[in-house]
Structure 1
């Protein structure tokens, strides 16, 4: 328990620094928004490229693991999308962002440290496979639906075309495409270029957490309780249970990898989740859900560790 707290405590400290900095007017809302754009435009794409080119795909490829983790995540995404849209009557964009928060984990900054602590070396392979699912399936799917819902008043054809144009200009999608191409072709970036990518990638976690804290200043949580409850329960309970179910129904996989997949699914939503929501004016909802889910994840991760590890 103390080891897990040692991992999550710095996360809350960085969020707290961002909140107090905004509260004390050391940074303005415009500056916080600018930092968020830096993460989404430069730091996060660098992290994606780094994750995809660091190791050859054939060294970590596991079809059953990919299928189980991908199907479990996709199942929760669809349930979250339908629940938000049909039951809670949210917009298509809001529903897509809610579904994303329920089905994509903070694999790099919370999941990986916990899994490597619990299982050792297999954590690296599980991280790479999970990043493929998240970056090639879940995030593009959510962004596509969110952009489609963002095209108010357009015909279906015009909305699809505009969505496609926005997606091909999206820094995350560009980074996924570039990183995958480099990995498939086994092309190594020049040393200087790779160093720049690594430096930008290192900035993504602390800056994103600072932005989350800054976004929380002035946030009224009272009207967000239902959103926070849906996202937290969906991410911390439904997602790992769905992944565990898929591992159970599909052909056997290495038991250690099975535990790794469930533990990654136990992690709260990715730290740049509020920054993705910022584009659609939903950063408040996303930030509140992220903070609550990260707090509660200490309990749920400890539970699944005790049951599975």
Structure 2
């Protein structure tokens, strides 16, 4: 119990500091947005490159982990989409956004800070692999479905092309490409550049948690309790269960990576969830779901830490 509290309490204290800083106007909301861009565009890419260079390439691209987390996330997406298709009258875009919310975790801002306290440097590698799964599988699937709901013309390629281009230009994807090439060629940056990467990477967790707290300040759930609860609770329950099911089915996964998969799946949905839904009129509901899931994730992350320790024994 003390180990769980030792991992969870500092994280939510930093989130709380971010919340209070914005509430008391020590930091402006606009500053929080700029700090978020710093994390996404600079600090997390540096962390990804650092993680990819830390171990041999064949250890970094852990195929069992990719299968476990990728299949677990895919099953969670498909299960939510199928259930909504059968049991509700929600539109295609709503089904796509609901399914995205339950299958893509906040790997960088919440999953990684928790995982690194529990399993150490492997958390950075797991985060990079999660970014591949989320950015190349889960997010494109949801966006293509949402675009199809708008009656996109010109066939599937015309619908997918702008989505694919946006994803390929994302700093985190570029960092994965750069880190992979450097690792494959066994090239390491000179001392000063390596120190710079270390400094930027070290800033990613605390700044990310501060940003989460600042973002939550002022957000309210109004008139959407049923739908918001459905998204948040399904994310925090279904996604971890699907990943655990894949751990039991897929042979050969290292216990440390199994623990990482559980911890990341127990995190709330990705922080850009409301932004991805903004184009489809889903920003308010997406924000409310993210708020609820972030608050409740203190419970699921505690369970995830307990399960991960059990897996490592």
Quickly name the TM-score band, shorter chain normalised: 0.7 to 0.9
- Which of 132, 135, 139 aligns to 2:131? It is 135
Root mean square deviation of aligned Cα: 3.4
Spell out, residue by residue over 1:129-163, the C-alpha distance to the aligned partner (whole angstroms, 9 max, x if none).
63353122223323434654479675345433322
1:67-86 to 2 correspondence within 5 Å?
Answer: 67-82=67-82
Query: Do the aligned residues in 2 keep the contact of 1:98 with 1:231 (CA within 8 Å)?
Result: yes
**Aligned counterparts, 1:292-303, within 5 A:** 292-301=295-304
Deviation string 1:256-304 (CA, Å, 9 cap, x unpaired) is: 457525643553137xx32464465447336404422422224523663
Structure 1: gaps of 5 or more residues: 117-122
**Contact 1:73 1:103 (C-alpha < 8 Å) held by counterparts:** no
Single out whichever of 275-284 and 71-80 deviates more from structure 2: 275-284
How far has the Cα of 1:91 moved from its partner? Answer: 4.0
**Conserved in 2, the CA contact under 8 Å of 1:40 and 1:275?**
no
Equivalent residue, structure 1, for 2:114: 110
Structure 2 residues not aligned, in runs of 5+: none
Distance in 2 (CA, whole Å) between partners of 1:142 and 1:262 is: 16
Flag the 1:5–1:85 CA change in 2: closer, same or farther, 3 A: farther
- Choose 212-221 or 128-137, whichever is displaced more: 128-137
- Could you say which residue in structure 2 is the equivalent of 1:119? none
- Tell me the CA shift for residue 164 of structure 1: 2.8
Structure 2 distance, partners of 1:169, 1:208, is 21
- Superimposed CA distance per residue, residues 59-113 of structure 1 (whole angstroms, 9 cap, x where no aligned partner): 4565444423332232223334555677454547734641443596854211232
Residue 2 (structure 1) aligned with residue 2 (structure 2) = yes
Are the structure 2 counterparts of residues 135 and 93 from structure 1 closer, same or farther at C-alpha, using a change threshold of 3 Å? same
Aligned residue runs from structure 1 range 140-289, under 5 A: 140-145=136-141, 148=144, 149=146, 155=153, 156=155, 157-226=157-226, 228-251=228-251, 253=253, 256-257=255-256, 260=259, 263-265=262-264, 267-269=266-268, 273-275=270-272, 277-278=274-275, 280-281=277-278, 282=283, 284-285=287-288, 287-289=290-292
* CA distance 1:214–1:269, shift in 2 (3 Å): same
Q: Which moved more, 1:243-252 or 1:95-104?
A: 95-104
Q: Counterparts in 2 of 1:84-103, with a 5 A limit?
A: 87=88, 88-89=90-91, 90-91=93-94, 94-95=97-98, 97-101=100-104
